[in-house]
Chain A
């Protein structure tokens, strides 16, 4: 191929990564404007404009498949998840941010870019680079609270991250050594028949598990979620996690292992362990953020079930769960942020805000949705999860899938124990405080936002079609 043609191809393919390019350019503009102004409003504006423009470009992409010398891959699902990430990023401007806005939003954009490339990666190198990009940004963002605990959590996070990326590198080496190729698209079941390369895949999967907070690579979550700034945590719990899961799903689709393959069984086992660890870990937590973080570990386990089961070739259930999960987590962390603003950190402190029924009521609805009780969107998500697992059991006769279903059901009951702790303190618990100590007030703005989140969860339960049409709205890719 002539250089001229190659250049022409690259130029043509660049249109596929228009949205990422905009994110990177916007990030640079943000950093420069940070030198000029410390005012959060113009910075938030630049951040939002960047994301909106990038969303627009992302929706403009019409053609799926491999591009840029096969190093990246695109399909409708990836495009809609990319849009979801951008929207999630956009929605964190509702969180107040007083300090270091320019640097913070710069790193947030980098996190989104890393996660989008994670989903799109077709080459092992891109997988590694994008995971590292997302990880490094996360380490830095964790210490952005500029408190001692934040730095401690960041170092812990970094150490775990270094370990898991080392494991992943071994995996990549093994895979490359045997398949003689960097590309996921050339993966066939025959290439992966030997045990050695299967172990390579396992190591690679472990690297992704680190991003998705799957047991035993979830260790970093509680400390990070507790100490990082809330707006960053809201995104940590959504963007890299879902990005990693989409990547896992693509990998397993290409591998096409039989459902009783040891690798699949191991992954399913780890998924069940994640659900259990998350649920039972949360039971003992006093700090609200730690509790929610364990809850989100359990949710990773639920999502993993949707990623691995064969019926997940179809995307609806996974998309449904992911998008409601996104909404629920954003809502939960927003309200936590409002409460922390009036220095309420632990579950029992919610009894201080007895007078604020609206805020506590909204939080209750969001937590109930996280448990998965009708009439809230979280229930429909759980319903789709259970349905997919049951369908897998019927199709394959796999007992593991049935066990997964039962574990999920019991974890759902157990999760009530901890999620209801906040309504318990906010409404039922008797405290011996005088009225003056109860005089906590929230701004009308935060009440309105909290109410909107709760109402959205109700609406999505009654008209689940909205989420499906959202998916077709968020991408134009024809395969």
Chain B
């Protein structure tokens, strides 16, 4: 199917435009249209997965990508900066393909979860579909400018989705989210300009990520390898690396710039929490993979300890914070911070096991964390409350619910046989075998896993075991087990979590060649 990536990218946006002209009273139409849009997106990305050639073993980034689409988009002649050339340049490789499929899948779950949104349905689904397109755009864009546009354009829909449909402190949370992410993306913008001025393809400045990853620097570029001279006390490459680390670190989020996440999660409506945890955090992680490590491998080697340090701090700090939470959603939010720390550790190891582990962990967390937020949403829908203290012994009343909670909590704490285990194991293996990292990185990360076991198990014990108790008698009438719709959201996630835990090659086979090449590419810069 030609131009399949464009269809995946543009289709939801097109449906969103169509929705604009439909009168706002037809709420059911909007739900069905949104469902149709993301279903088509999902089917197309499954087709993409089937057509993807796993055996391509690239020699340079320029031949690593498949389904490439390249068109001139903006071609301005500016005397100042030569030709200003921006391309509509799409493609997927082993790193982005799993994320593309994950993204369309989570968006689909999100639409089902949005079924009982009653307020301003039209606006909600239009924003949701715009969000869907821009997240997808981030994963498939190979032009930095296009990537940046999609990266920034997630903010506005997200701002309104949290701010209008969110909980009590929604406006505070949405503005905090917006500010943090905008700050991060402006750091990225500065590096984008630096790279644009320093990289040429066929004699013209280019935004092409491929050319940037292949290192086609001009001779006068400050970003060229081994250039002398410092800015603010750093070499230009190190400065760019730090800027990008801050930019994507905010999105990831890594401690100490994670504070927007718990607020955004707690205030966001359930489906938006699902998308936020499942996908937006992955966009940050993908940025680290593609841009930070893809373009600045030499600095990454030098700064591996720093990245690992932030990773370990995120794991431990996020974990201990989760332990202290009394709000179920806040607990899950902090567990996300902790889990994203593993991605940083995996990247810092700069081994192929570590990279594969980090990527696998992203996919696995992209399935587990939406499920955890759906679980928190279930109890919140019934009681308008999700304080852990308010419930006890739910297992007797809601057995199916308890089954799913236990399943996803165990997946979250990394029980063997579930997807969470594979990712964490590979990251740790990478960390222990890496030449760049000291032993403490791996050891402290293991402590992080123990902490995660503690908070998940403790929550199960407090909420589901023991004698049945709910804080307010008025809730009693609502304490029914999962509805059909809720089951339909949780079952696919549960199946995938278990299948990927038993058979991780389902994802790894797609990525292994690309990651191997990536590591070869990195090893060129080893001292």
Contacts and interface: CB of A to CB of B under 8 A. Distances in A.
A413 B186 contact: yes
A406 B137 CA distance: 28
Interface string A406-421: 0001001100110010
Contacts of B156: 368, 373
Contact of A409 (B152, B174, B186): B186
B11 interface: no
Interface residues of A, number: 37
A388 B196 CA distance: 12
B49 interface: no
A69 to B, nearest CB: 32
26 contacts: A316-B79, A317-B78, A368-B156, A373-B155, A373-B182, A383-B189, A384-B78, A386-B189, A387-B80, A387-B81, A387-B196, A388-B80, A390-B194, A390-B197, A394-B220, A394-B222, A412-B182, A420-B159, A420-B178, A424-B163, A427-B164, A428-B160, A464-B74, A465-B74, A465-B75, A468-B77
Contacts of A391: 80-81, 197
Nearest to A374: B149
A71 to B, nearest CB: 29
A262 interface: no
Given A464-B76, A465-B74, A417 B179 contact: yes
Contact of A427 (B75, B77, B160): B160
Nearest to A316: B78
Contacts of A390: 190, 193-194, 197
Given A390-B193, A465-B75, A314 B186 contact: no
Interface in B165-202: 170-171, 174-175, 178-179, 182-183, 186-187, 189-190, 193-194, 196-197
A287 to B, nearest CB: 20
Contacts of B50: none
**Interface of chain B: mostly helix, strand, loop or mixed:** helix
A424 B171 contact: yes
Interface string B78-103: 11110000000000000000000000
Interface string B211-243: 000000000101000000001100000000000
Interface in A349-395: 357, 368, 373-375, 379, 383-384, 386-388, 390-391, 394
Contact of B182 (A413, A424, A427): A413
Contacts of A314: 78-80
A62 to B, nearest CB: 22
Contacts of B79: 314-316
B178 A416 contact: yes
Given A387-B81, A424-B163, A463-B74, A416 B231 contact: no
A405 interface: yes
B139 to A, nearest CB: 17
B183 A374 contact: no
6 smallest beta-carbon distances between A and B, as pairs: A314-B79, A428-B163, A374-B149, A428-B171, A314-B80, A316-B78
B503 interface: no
Contacts of A374: 148-149, 152-153
Contacts of B305: none
Interface in A279-338: 311-312, 314-317
Contacts of B231: 402
Interface of A: 311-312, 314-317, 357, 368, 373-375, 379, 383-384, 386-388, 390-391, 394, 402, 405, 409, 412-413, 416-417, 420, 424, 427-429, 462-465, 468
B62 to A, nearest CB: 25
Given A394-B220, A413-B179, A428-B160, 10 more contacts: A374-B153, A387-B197, A390-B190, A412-B182, A416-B178, A416-B182, A420-B175, A424-B175, A428-B174, A462-B74
A375 B80 contact: no
A419 B74 CA distance: 28
A219 B231 CA distance: 35
A315 B182 CA distance: 29
Contacts of A375: 149, 153
A386 B193 contact: yes
A198 B169 CA distance: 56
Nearest to A412: B186
B80 A386 contact: no
Interface in B12-59: none
Contact of B163 (A409, A417, A427, A463): A427
A416 B152 CA distance: 13
B417 interface: no
A394 B231 CA distance: 11
Contacts of B149: 374-375
Contacts of B504: none
B393 interface: no
A197 to B, nearest CB: 30
Contacts of B170: 428
A315 B78 CA distance: 8
B282 to A, nearest CB: 21
B190 A405 contact: yes
Nearest to B198: A394
A63 B93 CA distance: 55
Nearest to B172: A428
Contacts of B153: 373-375
B512 to A, nearest CB: 35
A311 B74 contact: no
Contact of B183 (A388, A405, A413): A413
Contacts of B196: 387
Contacts of A417: 179
A77 to B, nearest CB: 12
A388 B84 CA distance: 12
A387 B193 contact: yes
Contacts of B194: 390
Nearest to B148: A374
Contacts of A402: 231-232
Interface in B489-514: none
Contacts of B152: 373-374, 379
Contacts of A383: 189, 193
Residue in B77, B78, B164, B187 whose Cβ sees the most chain A Cβ within 10 Å = B78
A155 to B, nearest CB: 39
Nearest to B232: A402
B156 to A, nearest CB: 7
Contacts of A368: 156
